[in-house]
Amino acid sequence: MTAALGAYVMWGLLPIYLKFMGHLPVVLVAAHRMVWSLPAALALVLVMRRGPALLALISDRRRLPVFVLTAALIASNWSVYLWAVSVDRILEASLGYYLNPLINVAFGVVFLRERLSPMQALGLCLAGTGVMVLALGLGRPPWVALWLAGSFATYSLVRKHLAVDSAAGFALEVAFIAPFALVFLLAFVPSAEAFQFAAVDWALLIGQGVITAAPLILFNVAARRLRLSTIGMLQYLGPTLQFLIGLAYGEAFTWAHAATFALIWAGVLTFSGSAFLADRRARAVLANG
């Protein structure tokens, strides 16, 4: 439980960390995150003793093109999130991560032919209604939330079919991303802008690799020891913290936001409550033989 709380709190507090780099161009922050995530990912592989799994993935040429796709998805997710924080759209970003588990379920229904209970279907309908309310209130679709939720749900769907070790897969993905980011910094950005920073800025830029890997380590520890229903409930801690941080930074919170988040939270509670009760019933049946 401590590991799970640590992971979700770190993910939830990420906007505060990024705000300390708000004076830097967001494209440079994103590129440095992609570069410094590679050594952090390799350290993650060593700590978790996943070296053989990583070597097996590298030698499997049939899967490499799929990892190029997942690398592109995660790079775009990171970039959009960094941009959203830099332009004071943390609330919309938090909405995306509330929606992400529900979109995962919708993808399961569409692509994997999974079935939903009536309560789970109601939860999805409430979330969908919330997105439409926000679109009407803003006069445009909430593109940030939809992209963050959709890109990560697509990433999760593809990774589910790959069925590979999470740490090794992540290391391979950032191994594809990091060279492009480094070439961008070396070839397309003047060195004075790309590499000449104050010591504090260097520490924050390099630290992005740590804040990328550390929650993953904690999450993997928690996932091996906690029930899926517990993980499912705790996953909303991250976007809740982001939501509160957005309010603390004074982002606009209109009637449309209030109605949308109320509907999303109702959908989340309906869906998660149904899943939790189903898990308890299944465990009771197993316990009774």
**pLDDT tens by residue, the chain, 289 residues:** 888 899 889 999 999 999 999 999 999 999 999 999 999 999 989 988 899 999 999 998 888 899 999 999 999 999 999 999 999 999 999 999 888 878 887 888 888 787 777 887 888 888 889 888 888 888 888 999 999 999 988 988 888 777 788 888 899 999 999 999 999 999 888 877 888 889 999 999 999 999 988 888 788 777 777 776 677 677 888 888 999 999 999 998 989 889 989 998 888 888 777 767 766 776 766 667 6
Q: How far apart are CA 57 and CA 181, in angstroms?
A: 22
Length of the chain counted residue by residue = 289
**DSSP 8-state assignment for residue 115:** -
Q: How far apart are CA 131 and CA 136, in angstroms?
A: 9
Q: What is the pTM of this model?
A: 0.88
Q: What pLDDT is attached to residue 100?
A: 83
* Residue 227 CB coordination number (10 Å): 12
Q: What pLDDT is attached to residue 130?
A: 87
Q: What pLDDT is attached to residue 153?
A: 87
Q: What pLDDT is attached to residue 285?
A: 67
Are 28 and 208 within 8 A, CB to CB? Answer: no
Are 87 and 139 within 8 A, CB to CB? Answer: no
Are 26 and 82 within 8 A, CB to CB? Answer: yes
